Amino acid sequence: MKLSTTIDFSSFMHRLEQRNPGQPEYIQAVYEVLTDVIPWIQENPEYAQDSLLERICEPDRIIKFKVTWDDDHGNVLVNRGYRVQGNNAIGPYKGGLRFHPSVNESILKFLAFEQTFKNSLTGMPLGAGKGGSDFDPKGKSEAEIKRFCQAFITSLLPFIGKDKDVPAGDIGVGSREISYMFGQMKRIATIAPGSLTGKSVVFGGSNVRLEATGYGAVYFLQHMLSAQKDDISGKQCLVSGSGNVALYAAEKLLTLGAKVITLSDSKGFLHIPDGL
């Protein structure tokens, strides 16, 4: 086996851009990660062999499908659904579903790529994936959201399962949407409770699932500061967003004695110099 000892960063990125035209979000994500990874590989050349880096950057598969659903006025509408199954080297694909007008293949590839590293760093046997649709839940009735979720998961169902791919929530997909999808899965197939995470507690979901991501971000920050012999108490903290993750992150920061001075959404931001 011939051992390659060098990877030229510029050449690698040029090839990646040629293979993925019109995908700036994905290219930027890979660029940012590889600026740290490639120098490390140069020092550990055994990881340059067998095209390991190329294999990590190329998703295992991308599933793209039509989602047809009815609005409250009887109109038939069509959205596009995706599931990017990034890497299952250490376990089943795991990652959220996002419902937002900005969703496209490039954004989901970037999220699945970064999810590979995020999940592996937990130490758990989890691969990485990401999915969703360009469906916009804003302004939709509860019945419309339910019908869309049912149509979406019906199309995605053949490609997921507890030992294959376990989706979760993300932007636009909370416990309500996950529960609608899980109910549809139970209706049309025999499904184990672990096939989706982020469900309502009545469907077998976790009690602290709603707070978990926001709290987890703060616990991570707490450990980083502790390693530097510092703590959160008294710190001024900038929180980006105002959704589920941001609000519970802010809540935990306040509990630990920090001062939260920003929140934001798609329309702007709040700057509160004296804190929330």
Catalytic residue (choose from 2, 66, 118, 130): 130
User: Is 235 part of the annotated catalytic residue set?
Assistant: no
DSSP string, the chain: --------HHHHHHHHHHHSTT-HHHHHHHHHHHHHHHHHHHHSGGGGGGGHHHHHHS-SEEEEEEEEEE-TTS-EEEEEEEEEEEE-SSSSEEEEEEE-TT--HHHHHHHHHHHHHHHHTTTSS--EEEEEES---TT--HHHHHHHHHHHHHHHGGG-BTTTEEEE-BTTB-HHHHHHHHHHHHHHS---GGGSSS--GGGT--TTHHHHHHHHHHHHHHHHHHHTT--STT-EEE----SHHHHHHHHHHHHTT-EEEEEEETTEEEE-TT--
Q: Measure the CA–CA gap between 84 and 103, rounded to whole angstroms.
A: 12
Question: Which residues have a catalytic role annotated?
Answer: 130
